[in-house]
Each structure stands twice: as structure tokens, then as C-alpha cells.
Amino acid sequence: MEGILPLFKPAGLTSHDCVFKLRKILKTKKVGHTGTLDPDVTGVLPICIGKATKVAEYITDAGKAYEGEVTIGFSTTTEDASGEVVEKKNVDRTILREEIQKVLDSLTGEIEQTPPMFSAVKVGGVRLYEYARKGIEVERPSRMVTIYSIELLDDRTEFSGETIRFRFRVSCSKGTYIRTLAVMIGERLGYPAHMSNLIRIQSAAFTLEDCLTFEEVEKLMETGEISTVLRPLETALSYLPKLQINDKVAEKVKNGAVLPIPEHLKTTNGPIIAETADGLALAIYAKHPSKPDLLKPVKVLRNE
């Protein structure tokens, strides 16, 4: 069995729980997820099966999109609805739509974020959530992330009440914490805040419309039709630049040969896919570290 299964992750399960469950359903051990989703978060979780596990990191590295809800008026230990209240401050004024829009605009582009204590980021070889569960607060390294766009999904012109909620859609780079983004929105409005709901609507080329539930996967396994819904590993690499090769070069690529950089790829710095004329991805290449005119194989995907 080989391919990518776009799974709809339900609430209450970790990404690892989903992998464990699918190993049982699919009766195969070679199953991997493509980036952690918090237990409370639902939505798109591409699962790599068989040889497709080789490209999991390229789905993880691709952009993501989410629809979330921010609650203004109190913050929590986890920065989402599952945590304990840390700070409370009633919203004592009407917040205008224009003010919220201005804040969202100010958070678009490259921004600096500090990962929450309840996160999987490692500090000193230990995941932050392990420190947090013991009540230990450690210094967390900030990181730069990119917010490509944020859209307010609320038609109101005025927002009032002791707490206020509104939904938003965000498209962002890998490593972005939407929980932290919700907190930042609140801070810029002058109030403590947290993310009260989140669904991932896109991961790389996969959207909600592509996703299958566990129940649907089980039925397809029972009827022997599971292969009809598995996406080829090339789907995960669709956003990367391509180098098309002929059959003669393909044999060299399968054996890990270095290749000359074609003119149209000389300004490319990231991974490059070496593919056949019919679109079969054979290997992932990158610029050679010491020979500027050559490409070096990073990962051979197919050598049969």
C-alpha cells in the first residue's frame, strides 16, 4: 500500500493517535503524519503510507490554512479553550470592525512568535509541554513565521459585551501557532485573549473537501477500494519546482547521480523534483554544497 490519505482529524485525538488507529485499520505499519495538530483541533491531516512516508516532511514544510475563533476577555494557560484561566479583563468598550481589521493587517507578513509552553517545541531536548505539566516555565526561543493573509469572517461593524468572539481565516507558513496568533490579536486590542476554536482547512495541496473520516476509511478497506482514494506521493510535491528527465538520465537518478543545474533552475534554492516525462517523481535534489553548477540528490524516491 502506497500513497497519501487526506484524513479529517476529529477532536480529542492527537496526530499520533490517528497514525496508531490507521495502522490497525489499514493493516500496515508504515504510516506517518505530516505535522502535529493539537487534540482539540479538527481538519486536514495528510497521512503518508508506505513509500509516501519519504515525502512527509515536504507536506509539513508547505503552507497551511485555518479557520479559527478568538475570544477576547480572558487568556488561558494553553492559549486555547482547554486551559485554565490566567487573566481576565472584561471588554469595557465597543470595538469597531475597523480596529480589528487594522490589527489583522498589522499581523500580516513576517512576524515574531514565542511558542506557547503547552507545545511540542523542544528546549534542552525536552518538549515544552513536559515542562508545563510539571509547572516549570522555561525560556522559549522566538521564531519568525509568515502570515500570508488573515480574513475576518464576521459581518458585524461593532463588537461589544464582557467577552467578544469572532472568527477568522488565516493562511500561514509552517511553524505558525494560531493559538499564539489569537493571543497577539487580543494584546493589540488591549485585552487578554485565547483561541476558542480551530479547524485546519488546508495543508499543502490537500483541502477539507479531499478528506475522509475514519469511518469512511474503514468501509473502503472492507470493500477493497482503499487504493482508489490514496493520492500519489507526487501530490505532496506539486508546489516544488520540477526537472524533467529522459529515460537515460532516469536510470542515473535512481542510482543517486549528481546532475547539472539547468538554466531555468539556477535561481532556485530549495528542493527540486526530478521527474519523468509522465510526471513520476524519482528523486528530490538540491544545489550541491560545494559545486555550484551541480544538483545533489537529497532523497531517492523510486529506484525500481
CA dist 36 and 120 (Å) reads 8
Q: Residue type for 147, please?
A: I
Whether residue 100 sits in one domain with residue 133: yes
Whether residue 76 sits in one domain with residue 24: no
Q: Is residue 178 part of a domain?
A: yes
Instruction: Report which of 30, 33, 1 is spatially closest to residue 17, judged by C-alpha positions.
Output: 33
Residue 278 annotated to the active site: no
Cα torsion through 102, 108, 110, 112, rounded to 10: 60
Whether residue 186 sits in one domain with residue 213: no
Whether residue 158 sits in one domain with residue 99: yes
Whether residue 180 sits in one domain with residue 125: yes
Residue with cell 487573566: 87
Q: Is residue 229 part of a domain?
A: yes
Residue 10 burial by CB count (10 A; 0-12/13-18/19+): exposed, middle or buried?
Answer: middle
Strand-pairing partners, residue 75, are 87
Whether residue 146 sits in one domain with residue 104: yes
CATH code, 117 = 3.30.2350.10
Whether residue 75 sits in one domain with residue 46: no
Whether residue 12 sits in one domain with residue 25: yes
Domain tally, the chain: 3
Q: Is residue 293 part of a domain?
A: yes
Whether residue 214 sits in one domain with residue 155: no
CA dist 77 and 97 (Å) reads 28
Q: Is residue 116 part of a domain?
A: yes
Catalytic residue among 38, 61, 80, 210: 38
Whether residue 123 sits in one domain with residue 106: yes
Q: Is residue 197 part of a domain?
A: no
Q: Residue type for 256, please?
A: G
Whether residue 176 sits in one domain with residue 111: yes
Regarding pTM above 0.75, the answer is yes
C-alpha cell at 120: 511540542
Residue 1 burial by CB count (10 A; 0-12/13-18/19+): exposed, middle or buried?
Answer: middle
CATH code, 282 = 2.30.130.10
- Please give the residue range of the domain that contains residue 251: 240-300
Q: Is residue 13 part of a domain?
A: yes
Q: Is residue 196 part of a domain?
A: no
Whether residue 133 sits in one domain with residue 232: no
CA dist 156 and 209 (Å) reads 28
Q: What is the pLDDT along the chain (304 residues), one digit of tens a residue?
A: 899 999 999 999 999 999 999 999 999 999 988 878 888 899 999 999 998 999 998 898 888 999 999 999 999 988 999 888 989 999 999 999 999 999 999 999 999 987 766 666 677 777 766 766 777 777 777 889 999 999 999 999 999 999 999 999 999 998 898 999 999 999 999 999 999 999 999 999 899 999 999 999 999 999 999 999 999 999 989 889 999 999 888 998 998 889 999 888 888 888 999 999 888 999 999 998 888 889 999 999 988 7
